Structure 1
Amino acid sequence: MSALELTAEWIPVDDAALGIVPPPSPPLAFFDPPRNAYWFQNSRGGWITLPEAALKRQLRPYLSNKAAETARLSPLDEHINKLQTECDVAYAGPLAGAPPGLREYESRRLLITEGPQIIEPVPGEWPVLSLVLENLLVDERGDQRPYFYGWLKIARESLIAQVHRPGQALVLAGQHDSGKSLVQNLITPLLGGRAAKPYGWMTGATDFNAELFGAEHLVIEDEFASTDIRARRNFGAQIKSVTVNSLQKCHQKNRTALSLEPFWRVTITVNDEPENLMVLPPFDDSVADKIILLRANKRPMPMPTATYEERKAFMATLTAELPAFCHFLSAYAIPAEHVSHRFGITHYHHPDLLNALDELAPETRLLQLLETAITESWTGSQAQLEALLTGPDAETAYEARRLFSFPNACGVYLARLAKKRPDAVRYRRTGTSRTWTIWPDREPAQGPY
């Protein structure tokens, strides 16, 4: 046999068979240009940010920091360059409703560092929570629980499926210590376990809202809320945006804003005194269907809550019942008369609260001024009416000037009155302007006002 024949066939031998262990691959990392930092997984699988020097220390067991004789860069520096150009992310952090991991969105790479904690439904009973909700939401006006159940059901289904669906802002208004804040706090674990406070951003007090994008549940309470009409109007505009629009602008201080799609549900708790209800936005046609307004009734809790130990036991009982409640929600059928094709559940406004809001509404205050200033039928322009009510000799001047706190306030409130009280206010168009008639069914005035 020739030497050629002896070497014609090779027996393959892998590195392991020869005892050669390949070097381990460096751990995963991503470059965050806005932060000029790197995202790196810690020993528990969570993501942390590291400056470049710290990242290099983590990578030295895997890559040499010395360049070969013919190379300009060390393998470690080459890897850092690769991270900056190929593993960069436009956004890194938690994103409401999204599971952890890497995802592409509109040609941008997002690193979601942590996701919501979803409570798994478990068949069972939930007697204590059931009694809490019955006491809170059932009164002489009717049973509000179907709206609460439907709202939660649609929210959980949307969250679990990771599909955007509009969802109204849920308002619980009632006496102090009625349990409304308790229920609001229980909504947080039902919707992923993360909550944030959006009120400053939603009223225009700040443009920065990045911290909200890590929470599914946006919680508003009335302890620092404003009754100023401009804040309330901003609040109403943001409720319309947050409840309906999937795309939201994420703006962190000293960073360029970018658009993301968070899953958000808004809840609001307020006391039902007039000054507290005034923190809610004006219920005009554009915002009314985007709010569910429930009355929270004050009744005894089903377990004692006087001491810390009793309250702790009460909360532990409620928390333990949440999986069974989730099972109930999964199987719950929204009554046909309450179904909304847009929101899943239709809006509802408790009539007593709605009446109270109507009495406090700025258009109602304008009506009271009209009753004081005008006793007979009057016709004229908005500017003429505003001059009549705010003139130096007018009995209504002080209140009217306070009421007309923004440009065209008089026209806005007149338009609302024309819808609510056509017996008091009507208008007709003349070209590009409107002519208003106050008390159209009364005898006209005999002279100019």
Structure 2
Amino acid sequence: MTGFARSSDTHADKKARSALEKIMRLRSEELARISRRARYVRDYLLREFQWPYNAIKGASPVAIPPDDHAAQCRMLIECFESGDTIWVGELTASGQLRHGAYFRTREEWIANCTPPPAPFICPATFRSGSHSRSNASLDTRRFLVVESDTLDRDRVGGIFRFLRDNVGLPLIAVVNTGGKSLHGWFRYPDEKTLQELKAILPQLGCDPKMFTASQPARLPGFPRGRGYQELVYCDPAAATTGDIRSLEIALPLPELYYTGSRGLFYTQTETGWTEVSQALAENILVDAGVSKNPLNGEPLPETKRAIIQLVKDKALDYAAPVAGYPVGLHAVLGRKILVTRESRPVEAKAGDFPLIRDIFQQLFGECQQAYVYGWLKIRYESLLNRRWHYGQVLALCGPRNSGKSLFQALLTEFFGGTSANPYPFMTGVTAFNSDWFAATHLMVEDAAESTNYAIRRRLASYIKQIAVNKKQNCSQKYRDSVTLMPIWAATISLNDEPTCLQVLPPIDEDVRDKIMLLKVSHCNMPMPTETADQKAAFWNALVAELPSLADYLLKYQIPDEIRCERFNVTHYHHPDLLQGLGEIAPATTLIEIIDAVLFAEHSNGFSALDGPARPLSTWEGTAPELQARLTENTSYGSVARQLLPHPNACGQLLGQLEREECRRVKRKRTAQKRLWIIEPPAEL
């Protein structure tokens, strides 16, 4: 014999009993799902409905006198109904005939609230003449008190707000117990809602003992320790304004987000967020208590309805790591961004860093170290505080195997362990740069090789963007581009041979203050690095010193003589590097091509451009005429076309030569056009 079956049951009885058992089973399954859902979404619910303690106090519909303890006691008791018999007393004031004095009517207690008579009150009412605070003496359950021993005052308010706003339970009062917790007083719910609350509230961190009908709660106004139990929120007129929502509907869905561009969902893991397919997202919903079956006569299974709701409500514009941002949801320039992982810079710790200090001294010498420490300080503090700040690109030029790459590797570790090579996008090799945005360190190593003038100008443009533009465009494959605001540190390393130096952009007025040019000397490593084990030990020793370097930087004062308003530390260009760049600057290259094309082939003293038999002392013509002549030359046309990629390029460089006091280049205006006069080199 199973369930409710009896041998004397009729067929109709068995059928009815079977239907009842099915209803009970379905209800039990529903409560189990609700319980699982509550456990799954607890942190998300507390975050979505957060209601800090001070906000609760400020939201009270009825003004509460802060220091009138008797008034606070009276205000809570007045929330009961006229004629209710209420218990107020110590925990032991129950069970004997003499304890009948603690069971009084609402009106009697209101008249005896000065001072508040006892520390506890029961949210239920009792039959007249009771002397025992027991379930057997109960008359009516007026209120349900919700409290938590694990959630502090700023977090438990999220539970109160969820029950009030999403479920529809009227919140009558909130009492500060004088300890660590709050008591939320709600009008007592119907039986169906009560069963659902019993399923979810313990999963949300609330005390299940408060469901006991005779369980006492703290009475406001009574002293406790060095303070008082305090009424902080009161709304005696709060009433049910509509149907109480089922908890299966009121509870939020598990925190899943949707990316329409890829048709994927994101779910939270221990380290961040990971992408999952729709099928796996539906399994996550089922695991979290969402039914696989249709509910309330709906045509679609609840999981499918949940997916549709997520697509509507939780769609993202971008989901990926963003340099300098913590894991979680962010609003960036009106876009909904989910940061899936984060890179945090090294945590500062007092100590010394002799190995790193020695390496810096060898690499940069005394003169350049102040700029290095100043630059590192600004970039580190920007990433640490998650606040964008202007920052130059750091260029390191030195001999092969001098330690440049080691310095860059240390910076990657120091800034959070993520790096990306921006050079392919900067030079047009790829049209996508989304990998930049996951990295705190943009790092170009010796792989940069192009000396093409147009590419160098493009590189200059991106150096300016990285240094001074807060908003950066993220170009993604198969997806729309999005504007983000990453926090980066950017470095370039290259060898100091003339051909390698030509990779750097021309140091003109636009880029001059946005790049640091540091000359790197060879560094003798302060520990053995011949074997793999020695290299690993050396690296581990360097990494162990990074917290001390961070502490030093936080305390470091940038010298006044190298401070500037925009970047905090002014740019520095090593004279030797500037001289090397000057020798290969575009304007310098142009005059060399002019000498080779115009003057070397006409060293006999005549210019074909100006007609035959005219002695050549100067060349005179327009910039377009000169550009055409140079780019069409058999020997130098290829170089000239790289140097002059657009129609105005020649005129711009001639203007730069004139501004830089090149005495051989002057402009001349006529009524019809602008001419340029170029004198031959002195040796001709």
Residue range with higher mean Cα deviation, 215-224 or 419-428: 419-428
Residue in structure 2 matching 1:57, options 270, 283, 288: 283
Q: Work out which of the two has the higher radius of gyration on C-alpha atoms and give 1 or 2.
A: 2
Residue range with higher mean Cα deviation, 170-179 or 331-340: 331-340
Aligned partner of 2:304: which letter?
A: D
1:420, CA displacement in angstroms? 2.4
After TM superposition, the structure 1 = structure 2 runs for residues 210-289 of structure 1, keeping only pairs within 5 Å, are 210-289=434-513
SS at match of 1:398: coil
After TM superposition, the structure 1 = structure 2 runs for residues 270-419 of structure 1, keeping only pairs within 5 Å, are 270-371=494-595, 373-374=598-599, 376-386=617-627, 389=630, 398-399=635-636, 401-405=638-642, 406-407=645-646, 408-419=648-659
SS at match of 2:504: coil
Distance 1:29 1:391, change over 3 A: closer
Residue range with higher mean Cα deviation, 18-27 or 312-321: 18-27
Partner of 1:206: 430
Give percent identity, aligned residues only. Answer: 36
1:169, CA displacement in angstroms? 0.9
Distance 1:371 1:227, change over 3 A: closer
Distance 1:125 1:222, change over 3 A: same
Q: Does 2:346 match 1:119?
A: yes
1:370, CA displacement in angstroms? 4.0
Distance 1:433 1:328, change over 3 A: farther
The 2-side partners of 1:268 and 1:88 are apart by: 38
Query: Structure 1, residues 122-157: CA drift from partner, whole Å, max 9, x if none?
Result: 11111111110000001xxx6111111111111112
1:77, CA displacement in angstroms? 2.3
Aligned partner of 1:420: which letter?
A: E
Distance 1:51 1:335, change over 3 A: same
Instruction: Tell me if the contact between 1:390 and 1:398 (Cα under 8 Å) persists in the aligned partners.
Output: no
Residue in structure 2 matching 1:10, options 123, 131, 141: 141
After TM superposition, the structure 1 = structure 2 runs for residues 149-228 of structure 1, keeping only pairs within 5 Å, are 149-228=373-452
C-alpha root-mean-square deviation of aligned residues, in Å? 2.8
Partner of 2:186: none
Gaps of 5+ in 2: 1-126, 129-136, 146-192, 204-250, 600-615
Query: Structure 1, residues 195-219: CA drift from partner, whole Å, max 9, x if none?
Result: 0111111112222111111111111
Residue in structure 2 matching 1:21, options 180, 199, 210: 199
Distance 1:150 1:9, change over 3 A: same
Instruction: Tell me if the contact between 2:518 and 2:573 (Cα under 8 Å) persists in the aligned partners.
Output: yes
Distance 1:51 1:129, change over 3 A: same
SS at match of 1:129: helix
The 2-side partners of 1:160 and 1:13 are apart by: 46
Instruction: Tell me if the contact between 1:175 and 1:297 (Cα under 8 Å) persists in the aligned partners.
Output: yes
Partner of 2:124: none
Partner of 2:324: 97
Aligned partner of 2:259: which letter?
A: D
1:7, CA displacement in angstroms? 9.4
SS at match of 1:223: coil
Distance 1:390 1:207, change over 3 A: closer
Query: Structure 1, residues 87-130: CA drift from partner, whole Å, max 9, x if none?
Result: 11111111111111111223322111111222121111111111
The 2-side partners of 1:389 and 1:77 are apart by: 68
Q: Does 2:257 match 1:30?
A: yes
Aligned partner of 2:431: which letter?
A: D
1:433, CA displacement in angstroms? 5.1
Q: Does 2:616 match 1:438?
A: no
1:415, CA displacement in angstroms? 2.1
The 2-side partners of 1:333 and 1:296 are apart by: 23
1:323, CA displacement in angstroms? 0.7
Distance 1:17 1:382, change over 3 A: closer
The 2-side partners of 1:389 and 1:33 are apart by: 52
1:174, CA displacement in angstroms? 0.5
Question: What is the TM-score with the length of structure 1 in the denominator?
Answer: 0.88
The 1-side partners of 2:413 and 2:619 are apart by: 57
Partner of 1:135: 362
The 2-side partners of 1:388 and 1:35 are apart by: 52
The 2-side partners of 1:387 and 1:350 are apart by: 37
1:72, CA displacement in angstroms? 2.2
The 1-side partners of 2:271 and 2:517 are apart by: 42
SS at match of 1:345: coil
Gaps of 5+ in 1: none
Aligned partner of 1:9: which letter?
A: T
Larger RCO: Structure 1 or Structure 2 (Cα < 8 Å, ≥ 6 residues apart)?
1
SS at match of 2:424: helix
The 2-side partners of 1:74 and 1:390 are apart by: 70
Aligned partner of 1:413: which letter?
A: L
Residue range with higher mean Cα deviation, 183-192 or 168-177: 183-192
Distance 1:110 1:391, change over 3 A: closer
Query: Structure 1, residues 274-304: CA drift from partner, whole Å, max 9, x if none?
Result: 1111111122221122110101101322222
The 1-side partners of 2:298 and 2:196 are apart by: 29
1:76, CA displacement in angstroms? 2.1
Instruction: Tell me if the contact between 2:442 and 2:490 (Cα under 8 Å) persists in the aligned partners.
Output: yes
Q: Does 2:301 match 1:74?
A: yes
1:377, CA displacement in angstroms? 3.9
